Amino acid sequence: MINKTELYRKFGEAVRWNSFLFFINKISKTTISFFLFYKLTQNDFSLWANIYSLIFILTLWTDFGFSRSLPQFCLVFAKNSKSKNGFIKKVIFFKILVSLAANIAFFIFSPFLISLLKLTTHKIYFYLGTLLFFTESIKSVLRLIFYSYFWQKTFNFIESLIITAQLSMIFLTIRLLESSSAILLSVFTVEITSCTIMILIAFLMLKKVKEDKGYQGQKQINEKQLMKEFIKHSSIMWSIISINSLTERNFLLPFFTFTLGPALANIFKVANDAALLFQRFVIKSIGTTGTSLLAHVEVRQVKKGAVAFGPTRGVSQQATVKTTAKSEAPLLREAFYKLNRRIISLVLPLFGILLLIYLLWKSFPFYKTSGFIAKLSTYGNCEYLLFKTFLILTVLYLVQILFMAYERILEVKRNYKELFISFTPYLGIILFLILGSLFKNCMVYLSLIPIILILHLLRIISLIIRIVYAKIKYQLGIFL
């Protein structure tokens, strides 16, 4: 166990290292995306973008809810060191088996989907795509295990070095090679190699994580019962993540390619990648760390009576050291407010940066002479549509992120009924996507931005329901 001061110190350090890794990772990927858009043919760029979308949407769908459940249950099993080590081995072994099975599905169905999207391709890209999917899946579960025990500093530092080397190799490839297909082949190869190196290093470091003195214990636990609870929680989180993925880039890009065509889909890809610089900065900075913070309180991994509570007024010091469920509520609310303030501190400066970008864009329309934007010239007035799409997506993402902590507390408290009710507006999203696939002419008539607004309106309604539930159930205020 750790005391509250140490918990908040670890949380703050984890967020800083997550922000650092995000900055390295997202800037490099966005830059690569822009350069590939300029260097590759339209078909090759669409092929690259759609294969990567398929890889990462499949990675999300085969996550099995681990991104939401591991930060909590890694702590539960840490109460017994032997059970913890066995639990980690089972999770990794399961992930390897699932990834291998999903690899077969990816290899079988991806060519069919690419053919459906009217993109020409070669089999070699799908061989490489399956390898990249496998390595990304294994790396993702290892990252979750490290993050659950607040080992972000070590993991992220090593991964940032690998990403930097990877970026340098890809830039060198783009500079030296002229053939579009040769560049695409090299990018896949470099990505697979970097993931493999990170996996090998993570496995070597895993022993140190298991031996962390802050997460050792000899308490007797019902391992069989806890595994059942873990499977149930993971399954429910998996269904929620899968439903939510229907409005994510990696699902919408193939959808837009199919319904609106490659030109508008490419505009969405580039605009969304730029908007994700803002959104993912907060998501990745907080990420599973916010769940870990709340989970430490929920599973009572925090030592009692360390220091007086700040945000929780009217609660005596004596009351805070009681072990009843009622006495845990003030600490849970304090952890919630700690998380919420961190989210706000990350989001508000991003709104300021976005406003500055908008004012610069209005004053100095540099895009009109951009050779990069000219690549989208198959669609009229594409430079205006690209920037407008970027602005709308960024604002929508940031507004929704402001209330992320309310969803996390419902997940950690395992309020499954409330969570499922809150996702009922997604039935409208599913219906809209099905109708859009069947009646493509209607999608073309609506065009890109109205479709984005419809999807996000339903997302916001879903979010409001979760906010109301969390606020009433746990007496939470808005923001602070």
Domain ranges, ordered by start, for the chain: 4-473
User: What was the pLDDT predicted at 119?
Assistant: 58
- Among 50-54, 240-244, 254-258, name the one with the lowest average pLDDT: 50-54
Of residues 467 and 49, more confidently modeled: 467
Compute the mean pLDDT over every residue in the chain, rounded to the nearest whole number: 80
Residue 123 has pLDDT above 60, yes or no: yes
Residue 320 has pLDDT above 50, yes or no: no
Residue 458 has pLDDT above 90, yes or no: yes
Residues 6+ apart with CB under 8 A from 209: 145, 146, 149, 151
User: What was the pLDDT predicted at 443?
Assistant: 76
Residue 310 has pLDDT above 50, yes or no: no
Dist. CA 342–CA 346, nearest whole Å: 6
Going by pLDDT thresholds of 50, 70 and 90, the confidence category of residue 302 is low
Residues 6+ apart with CB under 8 A from 186: 170, 173, 177
Dist. CA 391–CA 384, nearest whole Å: 11
User: What was the pLDDT predicted at 162?
Assistant: 92
Q: What mean pLDDT is predicted for residues 320-347?
A: 72
Q: What confidence tens digit (pLDDT) does each residue in 277-301 have?
A: 888 888 878 877 888 888 887 776 5
List C-alpha distances in Å: 351 to 67, 311, 348, 480: 27, 26, 5, 19
User: What was the pLDDT predicted at 30?
Assistant: 73
Dist. CA 247–CA 252, nearest whole Å: 6
User: What was the pLDDT predicted at 31?
Assistant: 78
Dist. CA 45–CA 250, nearest whole Å: 15
Residue 120 has pLDDT above 70, yes or no: no
Of residues 57 and 225, more confidently modeled: 225
Amino acid at 13: E
Q: What mean pLDDT is predicted for residues 4-33?
A: 81
Going by pLDDT thresholds of 50, 70 and 90, the confidence category of residue 18 is confident
Going by pLDDT thresholds of 50, 70 and 90, the confidence category of residue 395 is very high
pTM, 2 dp: 0.75
Residue 202 has pLDDT above 90, yes or no: yes
302 forms beta bridges with 2
Of residues 475 and 234, more confidently modeled: 234
Dist. CA 192–CA 127, nearest whole Å: 11
Of the chain, the percentage scoring pLDDT greater than 90 comes to: 18
Q: What mean pLDDT is predicted for residues 231-238?
A: 90
